[in-house]
Structure 1
Amino acid sequence: MDILPHYEEQYLSLMRRIWDEGTVQRDRTGVGTKALFGAHMRFSLADDAIPLLTTKRVYWKTAAREMLWFLTGNTNIRPLVEQKVKIWTDWPLDRYRRETGATIEQEDFEQRIIDDADFAEKWGDLGPVYGAQWVNWPRYEAAEGGLYRRAEKGIDQVSLLVDSLKNNPGSRRHIIEGWNVSELDQMALPPCHKTYQFHVADGVLSCILFQRSCDLGLGFAFNAFSAALLTRMLAAVCGYQAGELIWQGGDVHLYLNHAPLVEEQLSRTPSGAPKLKLLRTPASIFDFRIEDFDILDYHPQAHISAPVAV
């Protein structure tokens, strides 16, 4: 009997290809990357499978907390740092240092965000990033004088998605879009995982995630897990089984200063088959809590650290 390759092999193969054959580019951060354009991977979500990388530890609860934060529509890092989630701190911290000239350490900056609501409101907001677009995409209504004004409540793409999945499963418009061209310049970071499209066939829900930009060494592990988690959550509240996560990348890259990460990870062999269990299915997609998720049979190799390019 043929033994199927481990799901993570396609990730390692892509990493090796980029490192060996990628084009060296000077990017927005000034760090530089090796990159290729256009990549594709598929991961089964059947039988509770979850595409967690096993060749390094992925802190899945951090990614899950971020996903739950997206669904609230909040764009301030305060709720995240209160939960010790620091993955979004770099951008507001960098802005604070540039605009004030202060040499504050990250830990002190985060503590001020927690302790001082006014400070958090001014310095902790990221602009209209993911959650704002997902649940409050701006819409405009007619005002006096033939003008238009922004409506108090925007478009809730997530609620519309849930409704269409339940009531019109054959639709080809099951999409959450984050790339709002009119607001890109207001965002701390324009959306990388920008487009999610869902598909229902024979009671099975699958997702295609398109990323315009993918940091394969650091970001991908979170992006793939989060998309799989969102698919499982949607499947649960809509009454479907989970099928596949299909991942597509535009500019897929490895940072030049991540050589130790790349070489260490490529030296490792993936193993195991982790499972994601949903311990509770709430009535609404917005009512999931971190306590509703459990990961079983996840025995990764050691974490590999690397700097984030801002």
Structure 2
Amino acid sequence: MSQFDIMYTELVRRIEREGVYTNGQKVRPKYITDGAPAHTKAIFFHTMTFYPHEVPVLTIKNNFPVTANNERHWIWNEKSNKVDDLRRLNGTEKTVWNEWELWDGTIGLAYGHQLGKKVMDLNGKNVDQVDYVLHELRHNPTSRRILTELWNIDDLSSMSLTPCVHHTQWDTYDGTLNLLVKARSSDVGLGLPFNVYQYSVLHRMIARHADLPLGKMHFVIGNAHIYDRHLETLREVIANEPLPAPNLYIEPTIKDFYDFTNKDVRLINYKHQGNYEFEVAE
């Protein structure tokens, strides 16, 4: 069975058991459908460790891996903040980012924009954060300074949505490529399954680029929350029987990170327990 299903179920149960409601407090998010305050039940600090033998994707509900992978490609490979670029990858006008699209067609100075800014010094030359990671893992893999950061305080006011998953650190202390991912905030019903799968794919692609064995991925969450309108549905989800984990196919002839297209990644034998609807809050 899928190990992520087990970890996900344990997290939902922990929030049910230990979580604190924001009911009665002033909250920023509102449900898109009716503008009502989007209250949550939350815990602070949770961590999950994923081992390289299995790709972490939920089977107790549809993880929507194609859509999740397209978003990863949009942010990390294309380093784009233009919503039309994501629509092109998805092949549809509908994207999870439509609600945050600004008048200029972007999501502001967020996500892909931050990765694509040339801000890192590399032998006297400014490069972007992704190029820096790729270079250092090939040429200086024992460095403890191989990381990315999307939480740019200078640009936060120009982002339509400040980043939830904001930090990565890449480390080869044991001869394998280990990845630490940090999220300041995680919507357990909608965002978390997407993000875990996205970064597990990214981890494998960059290990391939750097010609390093795949190590562990540690996913660390600050505020792990369930929206009040998601709770009942998530109870149904975690009551489902986990199914065998699928296999991840990444086109084996491609080594260079920038040669990958969004079509070069897919799950094989992915079976799940069905689709579940969750209201979006913004």
TM-score bracket for the superposition, by shorter chain length = 0.7 to 0.9
Q: 1:23 is matched by which residue type in structure 2?
A: V
Partner of 2:60: 55
Partners of 2:21 and 2:118 in 1: how far apart? 36
Q: 1:199 aligns with which of 145, 149, 171?
A: 171
Q: Deviations over 1:2-26 (max 9, x none)?
A: xx99342121111111123211124
**2:5 aligns to what?**
8
Q: Which has the higher helix share?
A: 1
Asked if 2 retains the 8 angstrom alpha-carbon contact of 1:134 and 1:157, the reply is yes
Q: 1:42 aligns with which of 49, 55, 59?
A: 49
**Contact kept? 2:42, 2:225, Cα under 8 Å:** yes
Q: 1:281 to 1:197 in 2, by over 3 A?
A: farther
Please report the RMSD computed on the Cα atoms of aligned residues, expressed in angstroms.
2.0
Choose from 228, 232, 245 the match for 1:273.
245
Q: How far did residue 298 of structure 1 move?
A: 1.7
Cα distance, 1:281–1:33 mapped onto 2, change above 3 Å: farther
**Cα gap change, 1:5/1:282 in structure 2, threshold over 3 Å: closer, same or farther?**
closer
Match of 1:88 among 97, 117, 121: 97
Q: 1:76 maps to which residue?
A: 82
How many angstroms does 1:37 deviate by? Answer: 0.4
2:210 is aligned, of 238, 244, 247, to 238
How far apart, in 1, do the equivalents of 2:257 and 2:2 lie?
A: 34
Instruction: Specify the alignment match of 1:101 in structure 2.
Output: none
Distance 1:90 1:24 in 2: 25
TM-score by length of structure 1 reads: 0.80
Does residue 214 (structure 1) correspond to residue 214 (structure 2)? The answer is no
Q: d(CA) in 1 for partners of 2:126 and 2:227?
A: 37
Aligned length: 264
**SS of residue matched to 2:96:** coil
Separation of aligned partners in 2, 1:296 and 1:305:
24
- Structure 2: gaps spanning 5 or more residues: 30-36
Map Cα deviations across residues 131-164 of structure 1 (whole Å, 9 max, x no partner).
Answer: 111121558xxxxxxxxxxxxx974010110111
TM-score (norm 2): 0.88
* Counterpart check, 1:126 vs 2:126: no
Q: Which runs of 5+ in 1 are unaligned?
A: 96-121, 140-152
* CA distance in 1: counterparts of 2:2 and 2:192, whole angstroms: 20
For 2:7, give the aligned amino acid: Q
Greater gyration radius: 1
In the alignment, what sits opposite 2:34? none
Contact 1:40–1:246 (CA<8 Å) still a contact in 2?
yes
Deviation per CA, 1:241-278, whole angstroms, max 9, x where unpaired?
Answer: 21221110001100001123211112112221222121
Mapping 1:146-157, distance limit 5 Å: 155-157=127-129
Residue 281 to residue 35, structure 1, CA distance change in 2 (3 Å): farther
Moved more, 126-135 or 197-206: 197-206
In structure 2, the partner of 1:33 is 40
Identity of aligned residues (%): 31
Are residues 235 and 281 of structure 1, via their aligned partners in 2, closer, same or farther at CA, if it must alter by over 3 Å? Answer: farther
The code of the aligned residue for 2:116 comes to V
Q: Is the 8 A contact 1:135 1:154 kept in 2?
A: no
